[in-house]
Amino acid sequence: MNFRLKIWRQPNAKSSGKLVDYEAKDISPNTSFLEMLDIVNEDLLARGEEPIAFDSDCREGICGTCALTINGEAHGPDHPGAVCEVYMRKFRDGETIIVEPFRVRSFPVVKDLVVDRSALDRIVQAGGFISARAGSAPEANSIPIPKPDVDLAMEAAACIGCGACAAACPNASAMLFTAAKVSHLALLPQGNPERTSRVLKMVHAMDAEGFGNCTNTYECEAVCPAEISASFIAKLNREYARASLRASVRE
């Protein structure tokens, strides 16, 4: 298969970028999208040009490193899945493909298609954990947890931290990401002691990082590679309301 590519090139955060035309020729339909970019890079290298910078690591949809927008869609056309799981058989022969980084104010471009998503780490650092010192844990079976609760917690916990939700959102909101972590931990009895402070701190951290507000467009859910349901956003809102009430009663 052959493709015409328009790829975002930007030397670093400070300089401006632009779309540059490339071609990918004789690509097998069983090549993954990132392997197609590898091939383009080999060509560039052979011609003495600088290869296109893009991020990936596991290349199997679990680490959350890869992050590309293809023809305006975060992670490309094959949902649910990360862009490293997109195969060229999903494109038409001869198609023009536009490749850009995730565009979110809080994710500055590092180079070409690579962005800095450390804002997501800082949201977790604000409170996205259960304080459990090694050595203090009670016997694992001492607190039975109903299977439906743990299954739901697992659905939320499956988030791979890629940031596509924010990239797809017209407001660049990281609500789905934050909601997933808040819900995962709030659904488990172990998460209960810090339930109130956690949601308040995480939501404040999210705002402080400059992410936008959620206006329920659900673009996030549509691109999420981990199929995190937007209903967790409703859960986050309930958790936040409950926590605000408790905090104000305590004051």
Partner 1 sequence: MIGTLDPKIPSGALAGKWNSHKDHARLVSPNNRRKFEIIIVGSGLAGGSAAATLGELGYRAKCFCYQDSPRRAHSIAAQGGINAAKNYQNDGDSVYRLFSDTIKGGDFRSREANVYRLAEVSANIIDQCVAQGVPFAREYGGLLANRSFGGAQVSRTFYARGQTGQQLLLGCYQALCRQIAAGTVQMFPQTEMLDLVVVDGHAKGIITRNLVSGKIDKYAADAVVLATGGYGNVFYLSTNARGCNVTATYRAYKKGALFANPCFTQIHPTCIPHSGEYQSKLTLMSESLRNDGRVWVPKRKEDCGKSPNQIPDNERDYYLERKYPSYGNLSPRDISSRAAKEVCDEGRGVGPGGRGVYLDFADAIKRLGEQTIRERYGNLFEIYEKITGDNAYKVPMRIYPAVHYTMGGLWVDYNLMSNVPGLHVIGEANFADHGANRLGASALMQGLADGYFILPYTLPNYLASQMGKRPSIDHSQFKKAESDIRAKIDNLLKINGKLSLDSIHRELGGLLWEKCGMSRNATGLREALAKIPEVRENFWHNVRVPGDGEDFNQALERAGRVADFLEFAELMCTDALARNESCGAHFRQEHQTPEGEALRDDENFATVFAWEFQGNGQIAPPKLHREPLHFETVHLTQRSYK
Q: How far is the CB of 108 from ligand FES (least distance, A)?
A: 20
- Residue 51 lies near ligand SF4 (rule: CB under 6 A): no
Q: How far is the CB of 148 from partner 1 (least distance, A)?
A: 9
Q: Which two tokens stand for residue 225?
A: 């590679």
Q: How far is the CB of 75 from ligand FES (least distance, A)?
A: 9
- Residue 1 lies near partner 1 (rule: CB under 8 A): no
Residues that bind ligand FES (CB under 6 A): 56-59, 61-66, 82, 84
Q: Which does 66 bind (CB under 5 to 8 A by kind): ligand SF4, partner 1, ligand FES, none?
A: ligand FES
Q: How far is the CB of 215 from partner 1 (least distance, A)?
A: 28
Q: How far is the CB of 229 from ligand SF4 (least distance, A)?
A: 10
Q: Which residue lies nearer to ligand FES by CB, 64 or 212?
A: 64
Which range, of 55-63, 96-104, 197-205, 225-233, touches ligand SF4 by CB under 6 A? 225-233
Q: In the chain, which residue ranges form alpha helices assigned H by DSSP? A: 33-46, 118-125, 147-157, 164-168, 175-186, 195-208, 219-223, 231-250
Question: In a 10 Å sphere around its CB, with 0-12 CB exposed, 13-18 middle and 19+ buried, how is residue 35 labelled?
Answer: middle
Q: Which two tokens stand for residue 170?
A: 């017209």
Q: Which does 202 bind (CB under 5 to 8 A by kind): ligand SF4, partner 1, ligand FES, none?
A: none
Sign of the torsion formed by the C-alpha atoms of 223, 227, 228 and 231: positive
Which range, of 14-22, 69-77, 82-90, 215-223, touches partner 1 by CB under 8 A? 82-90
- Residue 77 lies near ligand SF4 (rule: CB under 6 A): no
Number of alpha carbons in the 13 Å side-chain half-sphere of residue 169: 25
CB contact set of 145 (below 8 Å; sequence gap of 6+):
188, 189
Torsions phi, psi for 71 (to 5 deg): 45, 45
- Residue 180 lies near ligand SF4 (rule: CB under 6 A): yes
- Residue 31 lies near partner 1 (rule: CB under 8 A): yes
Match 């298969």 to its residue by tokens: 1
How many other C-beta atoms lie within 10 A of the C-beta of residue 187? 23
Which range, of 45-53, 92-100, 207-215, 231-239, touches partner 1 by CB under 8 A? 45-53
Instruction: Specify the pairing of strand 69-70 against strand 18-24.
Output: unpaired
Q: How far is the CB of 6 from partner 1 (least distance, A)?
A: 21
Q: Which does 230 bind (CB under 5 to 8 A by kind): ligand FES, ligand SF4, partner 1, none?
A: none
Pick left, alpha or beta for residue 122 (phi over 0 → left; psi -120 to 50 → alpha; otherwise beta): alpha
